[in-house]
């Protein structure tokens, strides 16, 4: 077979877009530095929603791989966030960060919500995100490459 007879090589696959993480945090900020590690990672796109309305807007506007509710989000607002998720993007995993003694309704477990308790150990949130997204699967079906 000559060089001319060989089939053309397929063009290299475009790199997959980094999964988008949407943090719902009153004020849209990270005053405690809770999300600093995630923000520094290049394999995720981290966005903030200061209100439920802005989070809903993000859910409508772009693909979101994971919703994260900061400790300042009330139980009622987490319920509203779950309703928005179910309506706009069913199946997106949700992590809720709660203070140690904060309420955690049993309905959250039935809806597949993961709960992390503060104070978080270093890298606990980052590793939890990796696990949740790994369990949810990836576009190519293979494991995520970590950092």
**pLDDT tens digit string along 98-115?**
999 999 999 999 999 999
The pLDDT value given to residue 66: 97
Task: Answer whether residue 143 shows pLDDT above 50.
Answer: no
Spatial separation of the C-alpha atoms in residues 102 and 68, rounded to whole Å? 16
pLDDT score recorded for residue 17: 85
State the pTM of this model. 0.81
For residues 85, 86, 91, 96, the Cα torsion angle rounded to the nearest 10 degrees is 50
């Amino acid at each position: 077979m000559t060089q001319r007879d060989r089939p053309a090589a397929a063009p290299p696959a475009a790199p997959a877009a980094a999964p988008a993480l949407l943090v719902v945090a009153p004020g849209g900020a990270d005053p405690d530095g809770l999300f600093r590690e995630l923000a520094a990672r290049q394999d995720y796109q981290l966005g903030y929603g200061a209100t439920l309305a802005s989070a809903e807007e993000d859910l409508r506007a772009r693909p979101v791989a994971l919703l994260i509710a900061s400790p300042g989000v009330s139980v009622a607002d987490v319920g509203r966030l779950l309703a928005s998720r179910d309506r706009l993007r069913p199946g997106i995993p949700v992590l809720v960060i709660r203070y140690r003694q904060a309420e955690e309704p049993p309905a959250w477990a039935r809806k597949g919500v993961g709960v992390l308790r503060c104070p978080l150990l270093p890298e606990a949130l980052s590793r939890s995100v990796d696990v949740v997204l790994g369990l949810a699967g990836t576009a190519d079906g293979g494991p995520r490459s970590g950092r």
